[in-house]
Chains A and B, each alone.
Chain A
């Protein structure tokens, strides 16, 4: 219930004191005492102000049809921390979200430092271009934000359904990394096991109550110890680890 604006105390001081208290508690255009109390930081109470160090990730979109282009841009606009830019914007986009027309399609011209994340329906239309990640259309829409963040940080991204499909295709390929597996720490092994189940970095982090960066660090260390060059290779080894309980 709001404080009544009329009515005075016995000597008027009560109303002034109450008014001052209300002004102190209610930040707005006229009353900024709470801002002055926050040392050294001048902020506005409107939306869009910034805390901390987060900067938007610049994402360009390329799709074969205007409708798909508009749909991807509209989805990206709903995801926090992302900024949709025109393809040839300056500075260049961090990530190019590319919907290939078919498996023979190539991504449009882009800056060398831009990571390309392809959106496909299944593995049969996976293009052979140099990509930072593959995102399938059967994933949750909000997972697209996680995939964009992951490739923007220089990591690879592979949708869980694609990881499983690749594992099934390459099941039985002989590898001999027992020595590498023995070098893994307990936490690296835990992360690798979940990778073998097709979980994304965020899902692994959520399961183990670790930060995403820590999971990525463990994966990088595991890749080096196992002498593998990609997430897919590591997932294959992890699948072997799961199938062999004596490891």
Chain B
């Protein structure tokens, strides 16, 4: 559309349930980065119901303790984009033959996440390749139904992000999701090049 300004969208990956483990992942650093980036809109992994009712107990720790405090203290507006509260681990098989490779790949991923134990490393190119590869192999070991449910949730996140962009076009948007989603979201978001421009964090 002539004269229409593209929305600039950057993704930042978080470690979600790994915050519950004793790893040196600095939530304050995540909050500082988001505050410094100062996006107009912060699309976060929280359902609309949880956000509007402020029932935050079931949300991920990085949303509850890093992102929401930043939103409260700045002009950043939080847009909830999660269709449901499930995360990557909730879709993985827990029983049967498929559970063993899923657990193995999960251990490999957690090992990598412990090595890349800063926000910058998690969102750097080396860990991105590592995470995307391991998560892709992990999902390959799932059943078709589990992959379909995982894909459906990610497509719903993309739909909610696009809805937010269409509602308020031309703004700077930061999408904060657990790092296991990024390799699924990026290809889907690239389909909307008439609406948005995917940029690295430092160019937001």
Contacts and interface: CB of A to CB of B under 8 A. Distances in A.
B53 interface: no
B75 A25 contact: no
Given A45-B120, A54-B38, A209 B167 contact: yes
Interface string B63-82: 00000001011110111000
A38 B114 CA distance: 21
Interface residues of A, number: 37
Interface centre among A50, A209, A214 (most CB of B within 10 A): A209
A27 B73 contact: no
Contacts of A205: 75, 77
Interface in B3-53: 29, 32-33, 35-38, 40-41
A1 B41 CA distance: 36
Contact of B36 (A27, A45, A52): A52
A25 B127 contact: yes
Interface residue range, chain B: 35 or more
Contacts of A22: 115
A95 to B, nearest CB: 14
B180 interface: no
Interface in A185-236: 202, 205-206, 209-214
Nearest to B43: A209
Contact of B77 (A37, A142, A206): A206
Interface of B: 29, 32-33, 35-38, 40-41, 70, 72-75, 77-79, 111-112, 114-118, 120-121, 124-127, 130, 164, 167-168, 171, 200-202, 204
Interface of A: 1, 3, 21-22, 24-27, 33-34, 37-38, 41, 43, 45, 47, 50-54, 79-81, 142, 145-146, 149, 202, 205-206, 209-214
